Chain A
């Protein structure tokens, strides 16, 4: 698979790069926690993805780059998660979201060329996917409407999830319980145009119905999430605001705020080209390729044995 991927990018003149796994900064993402280490008694962090560092490279030189590296996330372990996992991440200056989704689909076709699976792709906006299954419009629904739907539709309600919670927490839950199970079980699905509140590092634009949507997409095989991509935010001030908001949400969730990676913000301020980027979980892709149900089947030594 790795040989196949490298050949794919080589043929397209995308440069392979390498960035540090160990950084002075942790991620601010309220739903991710960095694993920490220590260098000369100073805390340092293992990357949760190479995103910040690769964008710094892009700001230095706007050219198509890819990287295959390890990423680390605390508290992620289970049948689909290992705290240490392998990411393929690439950036395409000049591409918008659709162009990058198309290239990802080509990569998948390439990876599966020798397998028994012939990949088929469906494309659904987050709104289409939600409305089809739940009748709810994710761009204007409230937490209490989600709660009422969950009650009426017999969705299990997790302990600790209440109407006082962020509507995104409810959307995340309904996504896993109702929307993803309705995806093609033998095919790939692109989910795109996420609610603006789930933009992370993506640009926000208005869709045809004038709802603000994040130009973010994910790729799934059946219910399994394989990739997350953005039409990248390049505005340094907006990025800094989002990081500060994420820190606020971390504090609300009882997590410590983290120092914002000023080197990344400075790189954006210096000028990052308009581009799209995507990260693919290669362990998960290998699971699909080898019809494995659990992540440890594709790892030499999963976390409990590492």
Chain B
């Protein structure tokens, strides 16, 4: 079992906390004068996204998480799993619904996603920050309704509903920010 000592702690280091892989986002040394040092860390649980706070007596060691990140291309879904391919090695990976999570709302095929692997298995799929998707259905905007910032719902080709400006029509290709789930512009 690989371990890291507290003096190896730094941002981005992947460790196991409560049985889940976590990435350190903040590491602070708490050190009273000439006394015992402690490391206060914040770490993001890579599976749930939740941020944990922990303190360690310095020189304590923590189990390392075997976590990798790689770019993969989304191929297709068979209903149970979502299939991705490493465009370099052509290795294919099947991610389950938990790993794909909200990414499913934004991908239709061929997008390059970031896949986090834990012990070689897909843990989290992160879609590109921006995707371009066509509008499958939306009501026509009402003529003359030009109030600033007025929006209407539109259903994208992935089945996801987003709020769009009134001038958007069915078939338009939209640029969407996947981090906020918001419309950015017409592509």
- A-to-B contact residues, CB < 8 Å: 29, 31-32, 75-81, 156, 158-161, 165-166, 168-169, 171-173, 175-176, 180, 198, 200, 218, 225, 228, 253-255
**Inter-subunit contact A218/B29 (CB<8 Å):** no
**Inter-subunit contact A200/B34 (CB<8 Å):** yes
- Considering the complex, give the chain A residue whose CB is closest to the CB of B32: A172
Instruction: List residues of chain A with CB within 8 A of the CB of B58.
Output: 75
Contacts A159-B55, A160-B60, A253-B59 given; indicate if A31 touches B28 (C-beta within 8 A): no
Contacts A76-B29, A79-B28 given; indicate if A159 touches B57 (C-beta within 8 A): yes
C-alpha spacing A79/B39, complex, angstroms: 12
CB within 8 Å: A-B pair count: 71
- B-to-A contact residues, CB < 8 Å: 7, 27-38, 54-60, 62
Instruction: List residues of chain B with CB within 8 A of the CB of A176.
Output: 30, 32, 38
**Inter-subunit contact A159/B35 (CB<8 Å):** no
Contacts A159-B55, A160-B57, A173-B38 given; indicate if A77 touches B29 (C-beta within 8 A): yes
Instruction: List residues of chain A with CB within 8 A of the CB of B60.
Output: 158-160
Instruction: List residues of chain A with CB within 8 A of the CB of B29.
Output: 75-78, 80-81
C-alpha spacing A78/B39, complex, angstroms: 10
Which of B31, B56, B59, B62 lies in contact with A76, CB distance below 8 A?
A: B31
C-alpha spacing A173/B37, complex, angstroms: 9
C-alpha spacing A248/B60, complex, angstroms: 19
**Inter-subunit contact B33/A218 (CB<8 Å):** yes
**Inter-subunit contact A75/B32 (CB<8 Å):** no
Instruction: List residues of chain B with CB within 8 A of the CB of A180.
Output: 32
Contacts A159-B57, A254-B59 given; indicate if A29 touches B27 (C-beta within 8 A): no
**Inter-subunit contact B35/A158 (CB<8 Å):** no
A contact face: mostly helix, strand, loop, or mixed: loop
C-alpha spacing A160/B57, complex, angstroms: 5
Contacts A75-B7, A159-B54, A159-B57 given; indicate if A172 touches B36 (C-beta within 8 A): yes
Instruction: List residues of chain B with CB within 8 A of the CB of A173.
Output: 36, 38
A–B pairs, 17, beta carbons within 8 Å: A31-B35, A75-B29, A79-B28, A81-B31, A158-B55, A158-B57, A159-B55, A159-B62, A168-B35, A169-B35, A172-B32, A173-B36, A198-B34, A218-B33, A225-B33, A253-B59, A255-B59
**Inter-subunit contact B33/A228 (CB<8 Å):** yes
Minimal beta-carbon separation of B37 from chain A (angstroms): 6
Instruction: List residues of chain A with CB within 8 A of the CB of B35.
Output: 31, 168-169, 171-172, 175, 198
**Inter-subunit contact B30/A228 (CB<8 Å):** no
C-alpha spacing A168/B32, complex, angstroms: 11
Instruction: List residues of chain A with CB within 8 A of the CB of B30.
Output: 176
Instruction: List residues of chain A with CB within 8 A of the CB of B34.
Output: 29, 31-32, 198, 200, 228
